[in-house]
Amino acid sequence: VTQFTKKGAIVSDKTPNTTSRRSFLRGASLGVGIPVVGGLLAACTQQLAPTPGAPAVQMQHEEPAAPAGQMTFDEMDAMHEAGIKAFVAGGQTATLGNQPLEPRLDGNVKVFDLVCSKVQWEVTAGKFIEAWTYNGTMPGPEIRVTEGDTVRLVVTNNLDESTAVHPHGVMVPNNMDGVPFVTQPPIKPGETFVYEFVAKNPGSHMYHSHHNSTKQVGKGLLGAFIIEPKNKAQDPAYDLDYTIIMNDQNGGFTFNGKGFPATAPLTAKLGQKVRIRYMNEGLLIHPMHLHGLPQLVFARDGWNLPQPYMCDTVNVAPGERWDVIVDCSEPGVWAFHCHVLSHAENDHGMFGMVTALIIS
Ligand SMILES: [Cu+2]
């Protein structure tokens, strides 16, 4: 029996570990662990329902690695395994960022109400940080419209400093560009500002603060702004659509506002094609590496490439969006992480920018 303390340290009896992280993942990827994959999928569907009384395992990047020599190899392995087990159990946080926001209709205008406010945001199980948010989540809600739609963003500032919203990558009239003292006055605390424009250029875009932005975007004032093309045939065909928004300030290294093991896995059925939209809202580059399966890169910053190409690591610089297709041709649990290794793993196990593509 292995027990977990609140700080993530592990108290174990003499029972030897029979499944290391590597053999666990290897078994799954070789196909001998299909029941394991099924179990993972079952666990993932329960992700929004934290297990009552489940151990709080914290794998935080701020946690200083124990000095060399203070952990035995078994202790180190046990900490690595604990992180994987927590991920499989569903990460154990109750909130999700980047959730679809249904617009209300004013005539033919799609209206999205965005309220800027501070909340306590759970980055990993039990670890809360102060986040500055749109509508209470980090990232803010996903705004998704269709090319040609008229879009209105009604932004109310309930923060205690001014702000503004920049539709990043979206082609808008100059006065809708969201840069204080360049295209508009700042939205002061208590004020509301209305942005309205026609969504012209389809693709994967973002919206974020453009005021005191190192702090405000870092704190969480960011989100996905997706414009679907009128002609869907202009993109490669896909069955599932995932977005991974990266940030590297508030709460450490995060995908969609969560650090491993609280990150959400991507799940797919064998043979499906998965579209992944990478969006980097951080200060650092994040080369996204998927194990086992190549990525077909077909768009950058919302613009389809004249010549799509295959790779296994897609470097995503700050401000960039890259769209890829993964052909899920091999079942298993495929590790999927930023390949700046200090954003993903240390003595205490995997943390931060780590998730998995689970194909069953
Ligand atoms: Cu990274």
pLDDT tens-place string over residues 136-158: 999 999 999 999 999 999 999 99
How many angstroms does the Cα of residue 178 sit away from the middle of ligand 1? 28
How many angstroms does the Cα of residue 77 sit away from the middle of ligand 1? 23
Task: Print burial letters for 142-163: b (CB count within 10 Å at least 16), e (below 16).
Answer: bbbbebebebbbbbebebeebb
Q: Which of 213, 262, 222, 211 is nearest to 245 (CA)?
A: 222
How many angstroms does the Cα of residue 338 sit away from the middle of ligand 1? 5
How many angstroms does the Cα of residue 340 sit away from the middle of ligand 1? 5
How many angstroms does the Cα of residue 310 sit away from the middle of ligand 1? 20
Q: Which of 243, 259, 280 is nearest to 100 (CA)?
A: 243
Give the model confidence (pLDDT) of 52-89 as tens digits: 333 333 444 445 555 656 899 999 999 999 999 999 88
d(CA 175, CA 11): 60
How many angstroms does the Cα of residue 286 sit away from the middle of ligand 1? 4
Kindly give, in sequence order, each residue whose CB lies less than 8 Å from that of residue 30, ignoring residues fewer than 6 positions away.
Answer: 332
How many angstroms does the Cα of residue 138 sit away from the middle of ligand 1? 18
Residues by chain with Cβ below 5 Å of ion ligand 1: 286, 338, 340, 343, 353
The per-residue pLDDT for 67 is 60
- Helix, strand, or coil (residue 269): coil
How many angstroms does the Cα of residue 46 sit away from the middle of ligand 1? 27
Q: Which of 285, 270, 289 is nearest to 327 (CA)?
A: 270
The per-residue pLDDT for 91 is 73
Whether this prediction's pTM lies above 0.85 is answered by no
The per-residue pLDDT for 15 is 36
The per-residue pLDDT for 10 is 34
Give the model confidence (pLDDT) of 211-240 as tens digits: 999 999 999 999 999 999 999 999 999 999
**How large a percentage of the chain has pLDDT more than 90?**
78
The per-residue pLDDT for 45 is 37
d(CA 140, CA 190): 19
How many angstroms does the Cα of residue 346 sit away from the middle of ligand 1? 13
d(CA 283, CA 102): 30
Q: Which residues of the chain have pLDDT under 50?
A: 1-62
